[in-house]
């Protein structure tokens, strides 16, 4: 039996998995940041050593991903800065939970479909992955173009959407020195990485779910 509702559900799972996996990549891959330390000449610009910068970043990521106390190595920090990272921590954990849950759900669905008669229907002749890819394009395509054309405005809009009514994301480099070693260029490159991974997912999804030819 072919199920339309099941097809829609699988498409939603696939889309959520692709987005959460793409976002998780720069969160979990610390070497991606480490490459920026020398690449952006941070030691020369800040006066801190490579080891000090790396320690500060690792301390922040340990706070965001683990049950560690907030600190930034030898760099100064404020309660306002700490509160922003606490807000980020909630979003990071939400993304990682979505990544894990959708991954497990898709694996379970794959194993189940191999042994059950009920299968996701092909809507308009195309499989769930095709519609997942199309949905990602529809939701994120416009914002991606906006970011590419004006990253500064997109960066500000992003923070206003995900941290409504808050201004603690506007850092003072004198009181929260971590911002000096987490420059806008790094976040732009994170966005590029996320976009590239999403594009790869979309390409795979559209190819896998394309209309079958007779």
Instruction: Give the pLDDT confidence of 20-56 residue by residue, as tens digits.
Output: 999 999 999 999 999 999 999 999 999 999 999 999 9
Domain locations in the chain as residue ranges = 2-208
Instruction: Write the DSSP symbol of residue 120.
Output: E
For residues 75-101, average pLDDT: 98
For residues 7-20, average pLDDT: 97
Rounded to 5 degrees, φ, ψ at 158 are -55, -45
pLDDT digits (tens, 9 = 90+) for 107-140: 999 888 877 777 887 888 899 999 999 999 999 9
| Whether the Cβ atoms of residue 188 and residue 109 lie closer than 8 Å to each other | no
The sign of the torsion formed by the CA atoms of 94, 95, 96, 97 equals: positive
Q: What is the DSSP string of 86-119?
A: HHHHHHHHHHHHHHHHHHHHHHHHHHHHTT-S-E
Both tokens assigned to 27: 């969160």
pTM of the model: 0.91
């Amino acid at each position: 039996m072919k199920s339309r509702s099941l097809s829609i559900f699988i498409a939603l799972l696939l889309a959520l998995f692709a987005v959460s996996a793409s976002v998780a990549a720069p969160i979990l891959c610390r070497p991606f940041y480490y490459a920026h330390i020398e690449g952006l000449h941070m030691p020369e610009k800040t006066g801190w050593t490579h080891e000090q910068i790396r320690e500060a970043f690792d301390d922040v990521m340990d706070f965001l991903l683990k049950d560690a106390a907030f600190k930034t190595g030898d760099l100064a920090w404020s309660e306002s800065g700490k509160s922003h990272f606490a807000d980020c921590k909630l979003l990071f954990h939400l993304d990682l939970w979505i990544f894990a849950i959708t991954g497990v759900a898709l694996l379970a669905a794959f194993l189940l479909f191999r042994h059950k008669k009920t299968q996701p229907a092909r809507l308009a002749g195309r499989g769930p992955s095709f519609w997942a890819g199309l949905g990602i394009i529809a939701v994120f395509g416009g914002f991606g173009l906006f970011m590419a054309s004006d990253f500064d405005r997109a960066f500000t809009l992003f923070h206003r959407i995900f941290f409504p009514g808050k201004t603690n994301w506007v850092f003072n480099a004198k009181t929260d020195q971590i911002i000096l070693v987490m420059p806008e260029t790094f976040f732009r490159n994170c966005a590029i990485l996320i976009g590239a991974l999403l594009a790869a997912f979309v390409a795979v999804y559209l190819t896998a779910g394309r209309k079958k030819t007779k």
